[in-house]
Amino acid sequence: MTKPQLLLVDDDRHVLDSMAEWLRGQGYELETASGYTDALERLRQRAFGLVLADVRLRDGDGFDLLEQCRRNWPAAQVILMTGYGSADGAIEAIRAGAFDYITKPIIDNELLMTIERATSQRSVRKKTTIYGLSWTAAMAWTISSAVTRGC
C-alpha cells in the first residue's frame, strides 16, 4: 500500500518539527503548517491523502479545518490531535467526519497504526469509487457479508 501525502498542522513549533522528523523517518512524505491559515494555503496548493491537525491552533480551530476538508477536499482523511482530550470531543470529532481523534502526548506506535488504518480505509474508498459503488453501499455490503458468513 502506498503511503499518502501528509499535511501535519500544529502551532507548537517543537511538536511540529519533532513529529515531522519522526514521520519522515518512518518513510512518509509530508508538509507542515503552523496554523489554520497556513494549512488552508497548503491544501489549496496540493492534494493530501491525510491531514493530521491539532484541535487548538493559534489562528483557528482543528474542527474548522476538518469542516473545510470535508467540504473542499473530501478525499483527504483527517485525524485530529489534542492535548485536552475528552470523550465528548472524540464523539464530536468522529460525528464531524474525522477519521480519528488522538490525545497528546502521542505514542509512536498508536500514531502509526492510526495512519495505516486511515490509509487502508482511503484505499477501500478509492476502490469502491472505481467499481461504481458508493462508500456507504460498500460498507453495507461488507457488513451484510460478514453477518451472513457468521463472522
pLDDT in tens, 113-148: 999 999 887 555 555 554 555 555 555 555 544 455
Query: How confident is the model at residue 131, as a pLDDT?
Result: 53
In the predicted model, is pLDDT for residue 66 greater than 70? yes
Query: What does the pLDDT average to over 95-100?
Result: 94
Which has more pLDDT, 39 or 107?
39
**Nearest residue to 53 via CA among 43, 129, 22, 95:** 43
Q: How far is CA 106 from the centre of its chain?
A: 14
- Rounded distance, CA 6 to CA 114, Å? 13
pLDDT tens for residues 20-44?
Answer: 999 999 999 999 999 999 999 999 9
Does pLDDT of 9 surpass 70? yes
- Average pLDDT of the residues of the chain: 85
Report d(CA 74, CA 78) in Å as an integer: 10
Q: How large a percentage of the chain has pLDDT more than 90?
A: 65
Q: Does domain 6-126 have CATH number 3.40.50.2300?
A: yes
Cell of 142: 461488507
User: For the whole model, what pTM was predicted?
Assistant: 0.79
Q: Where are the domains of the chain?
A: 6-126
Is 18 a residue whose pLDDT tops 90? yes
The pLDDT of residue 64 is above 50: yes
Angstrom distances, CA of residue 74 to CA of 49, 120, 125: 10, 16, 11
Cβ(52)–Cβ(81) under 8 Å?
Answer: yes
In 10 A of CB 14, how many CB atoms? 8
- pLDDT > 70? residue 151: no
Taking the C-alpha atoms of residue 104 and residue 86, their distance in angstroms, rounded to an integer, is: 12
Is residue 77's pLDDT more than 80? yes
